[in-house]
Structure 1
């Protein structure tokens, strides 16, 4: 199986598209699908921003990630089946599809033309490692130390409406929650 960064990124894009389809067709537990979509998009975006974008001009893509983050948070708060949920789902899908199309037609081909295969593999390994770390943090249960997991802290930060929470690590979430009085 290919492990270059371009293949890994586009594979995630296809998974996201499948999750949108499941949501639009109202298949299965929509809340669980939203949680899966949230975890995948958040982990994917953080991995791109931390491991792929620093070496290329991708300021616009980071802005699009922020837009998707806001819509994802709104989708998680909305009750499935309501007009708010359906409207937010449409907006989120449009935003993500625009980002994916732009990334796959401009950014990734540019990366492929400017970087050799060895570097694409190195970036792929770094992207995958960061993505997997985020997915684990976002989907894990309570930690062994008895403290809150990053995912639990993130949920608290959502409730407290702390800006920039999706970009924070566990310690930053703890500090922001302390400052917010949660």
Structure 2
């Protein structure tokens, strides 16, 4: 899925519940493609990684504080670990199959729980305008993350004006599971990330 497709889909809906459910359906489609074994699996994994990560961060920043949803945060962290394992595994390998099955199960449970409990609660406790405001904030946060996650690595400047911030480098280091990242300077984060890419 391209950013343009994501943007046009988002333009059709303006309340946060509809946006979250649309993401859930797209995520389910991506899992179905991966499970079928057809198509460019590394590209599908990259799309799934970007969408799941952006969706989770937008929920964590915009929706969960409104609902005090601690359990959802724990499930997002578990999904991140499995998503990283899926990205590192060779498609078709036992590691890939195992990570995919566990991630699909976790995400399916998470989606079912959100759609049966969290989203109805949000609908009951929020007015139409608030749901649209939350939708706007959710869409903006998700798009921000999607842009950061889908810019090709070679196109990302290593440093200097216009380069990634220390926070962005830290997030990339967290995704790459670089040890000691919390104590690193911006330059050290950049060097550590460059080593993982070479």
TM alignment of 1:95-106, pairs within 5 A: 95-106=106-117
> Which ranges in structure 1 are unaligned for 5 or more consecutive residues?
166-171
> Which ranges in structure 2 are unaligned for 5 or more consecutive residues?
1-11, 193-198
Partner of 1:5: 16
Write out the 4+ residue segments of structure 1 that deviate beyond 6 Å after TM superposition. Answer: 149-153
Cα distance change of structure 1 residues 57 and 151 upon mapping to structure 2, 3 Å threshold: closer
**CA RMSD, Structure 1 to Structure 2 (Å):** 2.8
Partner of 1:140: 151
Aligned residues: 175
Matched, 1:15 2:26: yes
Measure how far apart 1:178 and its partner are: 2.0
TM-score (norm 2): 0.79
TM-score (norm 1): 0.85
| Partner secondary structure for residue 146 of structure 2 | helix
Measure how far apart 1:158 and its partner are: 4.1
Separation of aligned partners in 2, 1:99 and 1:177: 37
Partner of 2:178: 161
Measure how far apart 1:3 and its partner are: 1.0
- Which residue of the other structure, out of 58, 64, 67, is the alignment partner of 1:53? 64
Separation of aligned partners in 2, 1:98 and 1:176: 37
Separation of aligned partners in 2, 1:140 and 1:8: 23
